[in-house]
Structure 1
Amino acid sequence: MATTTSVMRSEIADQSEALRATVDALLPLTPEIARLARETRQVLFIARGSSDNAAVYGSYLLQAHAGRLATLASPSIATTYGAKVDLSGVLAVAISQSGRTEEIVDTMRWAADCGARTVGVTNKAGSPLTEAADVALVTQAGTEVAVPATKTYTTQLAALAVLALGLGAELEPDELRRVPEAIDGVLAQPTDQLDTIVERLVGVHGAVVSGRGMAFSTALEGALKLKEACYLHAMGLSYADLLHGPIAVVDRDTPALIVAAESSPTLSGTVELARRVTSAGAPAYGIGGGDALAQACDVSVPGPDLPEWLAPIGLILPAQLITEQLARRLGYNPDTPRGLGKVTQTS
C-alpha cells in the first residue's frame, strides 16, 4: 500500500540546512586541499552508486574549471585484479556516504600504495575512509534513514565544489554559500507541473533521463532514483550518446526527462533534443533549462537560481521529488526499496 508520508520526503526537505552546514564546515579546509594540489596533477575518483554520479559532476567541474584531468576509477583493478598502477602525481578522491564500504576504502588505500595522495568524502566522521585519507571532507547531512540518497548526495556535490575551489578553480565561494537559499526556492515552487509529470509517468515501464556536461550527473542520478524506488527501467544518458542510437527507445510509452542548467553552454543542444523527442510523438518532460527548455517540452519544472557549476545541486531536487511521489502513487514505500540497503559491499 502507498504510504501517506515518507522519510525520503522529509529528508529532501532537510537539504538546504544540510548544505548550509556542509559548506560552513568544508570551505575552511580549502588550504589543506591546496596543499595536496601542489603535489598532484590529475584526479582519480573512486565511488559507486549515487556517489559515482557525484563523481561524474566532480569530473566535469575539475576539468572545466580547475584545469585538471579527472577520471573515474575501476575499483576492480585494485580489489579483483590486484594490479599495480603508477599513480604518482594523482589525487585519489574516494566518495562514500557511509565511509565504510570496503571496496571504496580498499581502493583508496591501494591508490595510496601506488603513489597517490588521497581525499575522502563521506558523511561519517571517524569512519575508515576518514582515517585512511590524507584529507577528509566530512559532509554534514546528519542521519539519512531512507535508502535512496538525497541529502547525502547533494552534500557530496557541495564537498566536490569545495574540492574544486581548493584545487584552484577560479570560481566564487560566495556563490556556493548561496546554494541553500536556492534549494529553499526549489522546494517552495508550486507543485502543479511536478504533479502532472508524476501522473503521466504512472503506467510507463521505462524512461530516458538525459542531460549533458555538468547536468549529466543529474541525469544519471535521476535515472538511478527512478530505478531504485519506482522500479522503472530508467536510463541515464548524455544527449550526445542518446542521439547515437538509443533514442530509438524513446516513444509514446517511454518518455524522456530532460535536464539542463539555464546558463549552460549545453542548453541549446538540450533544447534540440526535446524538440526531436516531441516531434517523434514521445513525451518530453523538462527539469531546469529556463524558458527555452520549457517551451520545447510537454511539461517542465523550473530549476534552481544557480550558475552552471552549482546547478546540479539544485537540479536533482525535482527528480527526487518526482521519484518519491511516483513511488507512493504506485503503492511502493520509497524509504525501503526492495533488495537495497544503505551500505552495499562488493568486491
Structure 2
Amino acid sequence: MTELGRQMSQEMDEQPAALARIADRFEAIVEELRRHGAESRRGLAVLARGSSDNAARVASYAAQARSGTPVSLLTPSVYTAYGQSPAAYASWLVLALSQSGRTPEIVDLAASCREAGALVVGVTNDGDSPLAAVSDVPVVLGVGEEKAVPATKTVTAQMLAGLAVVTALGGPRISGGKLAALGDQAREVLDDGESMQALGGELAAFGAMALVGRGFCDAAAFESALKLQETAGVAAHGFSTADFRHGPVHLAHAGVPVIGFAGDGPADDDTRDLIGALRADGRLARLIGSGDADAGLPATNPELTTILATIRGQQLALAISRARGIDPDQPEGLSKVTPTV
C-alpha cells in the first residue's frame, strides 16, 4: 500500500536544498532590482492568491517593518470584474506571486500594472510561464516541479524570494550568515518530526482549529491553516494574535484547539502570552516556536523564522492527514492550478 502523502513528504524534504540555493542568489536578486530602480518606487503593491498570498504576507510585513514602505493589496476582481484601472500604481513596485505563473487574473493584472508604469516583479517557479513573460523582472524559484496538490517547497521559496525583493526597497539587510544557515536549519526542523507527529495525533480528532501568530509569524499561521483545510479537511482558520483576542478567542473556550507560532521578534511575546494564558485556563493550546515550546524552531532573524514555522505547519498538516486516513497528495475537489479570472 502506498504511504499517504508520499509526494508531499518528498517535496517537503527538498526544502533545505531549495532554500539554500535561493539564499545563494539573494544578494544577486537585490542588486538586479536596484538596477531597475526599486529603491525609487513609492510603495509595494502585492498581487497573489492562495498559498502565494500567504507567502506575500512575509514580504508585506518586511517592507513596512524594515523600510517603512507603504504596502497595498491589489484585489484582482476590482480590476477584472469592476474595470478599475491600476494607473495609481504607476510609481510603485508590484510584487506578483504565482507558483505556476499561469493564474489568468494574476497574469492579466500584472500586465496591466506594467503597462501603467509599475515595476512588476513576478515570483514564479516557471521561467517560461505567462507571469514571467509579463514581468519587468522575473524571479524564478527553480525548486523543481511540484507534483503534490498542496504547495510546500514553492511556498517557502516564495517567502525567501519575496524577502529579497523587498530588501531592494531599502532598510536593514539580513546577515549573510543567517541566510547561509537557513538550509541547515530547515533540515534540522524536518529531521525533528517526532514532536509534530505527536501533536498531529493529539489534534487529529478535532474538526476545527485556530492558528495564531503575530509579526512575521502571522504568515505561518495563515499558511498552516490553509494546509490543514486543503489536506486534512479541517475547518482551520488563521488569525493575527491581536485579532484573535478581539472576539475569536471565544473559540478556545468552546473547545477549539489553538496553535500558536512564535519566533524571536518583538511581536512574538504576545503569542506566547496568549498560549500561556489559555493553557493556564485549562484550554487546549499548543506553541510552535523558539525557546520553550511544544515543537521547537531554531533561532534566527524574525523574517526567516516564519519560513521554518511554515515547515512546521506542513508537518502538522501531513501528520493529521495521515492520522485521519486522508491522502494529502490529491485532496478531493482540488487541482494543482486554480484558473481564476
Query: What TM-score comes out, normalization by structure 1 length?
Result: 0.93
Q: 2:188 is matched with which residue?
A: 185
In structure 2, the gaps of 5 or more residues are none
Contact 1:93-1:121 at 8 Å conserved across structures: yes
- SS of residue paired to 2:44: strand
Confirm or deny that 1:155 pairs with 2:157: yes
Matched residue, 1:141: 143
Q: Give every structure 1 segment of 4 or more consecutive aligned residues whose post-TM-superposition deviation is greater than 3 Å.
A: 1-5
Instruction: Return the match for 1:341 from 335, 338, 341.
Output: 335
1:318 aligns with 2:320: no
**8 A Cα contact 2:52 2:99, kept in partner:** yes
CA offset digits 1:77-113 (Å, max 9, x no partner): 1111110241121111100000111111011112223
C-alpha change, 1:62 and 1:214, in structure 2 (3 Å) is same
Task: Please give the alpha-carbon distance, in whole angstroms, between the structure 1 residues aligned to 2:26 and 2:108.
Answer: 24
Contact kept in structure 1, 2:262 and 2:289, CA below 8 Å: yes
Does the 8 Å CA contact 2:96/2:120 hold for their aligned counterparts? yes
Measure, in 1, the Cα distance between the counterparts of 2:8 and 2:194: 20
Q: What residue in structure 2 maps to residue 297 of structure 1?
A: none
Residue of structure 1 in register with 2:23 after alignment: 23
**Partner of residue 308 from structure 1, selected from 278, 295, 302:** 302
Instruction: Return the alpha-carbon distance in structure 2 between the equivalents of residues 201 and 265 of structure 1.
Output: 29
Distance in 1 of aligned mates of 2:39 and 2:58: 22
Q: Helix, strand or coil: the match of 2:298?
A: coil
Asked whether the 8 Å contact 2:201–2:319 carries over to 1, the reply is no
CA contact (8 A) 2:262 2:269 kept: no
Which of 150, 168, 171 in structure 2 is aligned with 1:169? 171
Percent identity, aligned pairs only, is 35
> SS of the counterpart of 1:149?
coil
Structure 1 residue 4 displacement after superposition: 4.8
CA RMSD of aligned residues (A): 1.6
| Alpha-carbon distance in structure 1 between the residues aligned to 2:39 and 2:163 | 18
Instruction: Kindly report which structure 2 residues correspond to 1:191-206, keeping only aligned pairs within 5 A, or say none.
Output: 191-206=193-208
Q: State the secondary structure of the residue aligned to 2:303.
A: coil
State how far apart, in whole Å, the 1-side matches of 2:79 and 2:26 are: 29
One-letter code aligned to 1:51:
S
**Could you give the per-residue CA deviations for residues 193-213 of structure 1, whole angstroms, max 9, x where no partner exists?**
222211111211100000011
1:213-264: per-residue Cα shift (whole Å, max 9, x none)? 1000000000000000010110100011100001111246410010011x21
Structure 1: where are the runs of 5+ without partners? Answer: 295-299
Counterpart-to-counterpart distance in 2, 1:246 and 1:53: 20
Match of 2:251 among 235, 249, 252: 249
Counterparts of 2:164 and 2:5, CA distance in 1: 34
Q: CA deviation at 1:115?
A: 2.8
C-alpha separation in 2, matches of 1:264 and 1:25: 25
Question: In 2, are the aligned partners of 1:23 and 1:177 still within 8 Å (CA)?
Answer: yes
Q: Give secondary structure in 1 for the equivalent of 2:37.
A: helix
Distance between the aligned counterparts of 2:126 and 2:67, measured in 1?
A: 27
How many residues matched?
338
SS across alignment from 1:236: strand
Any idea what SS the aligned residue of 2:205 has? coil
Deviations 1:145-190 (A, max 9, x none): 111110000000110121122222321341222210111111222x
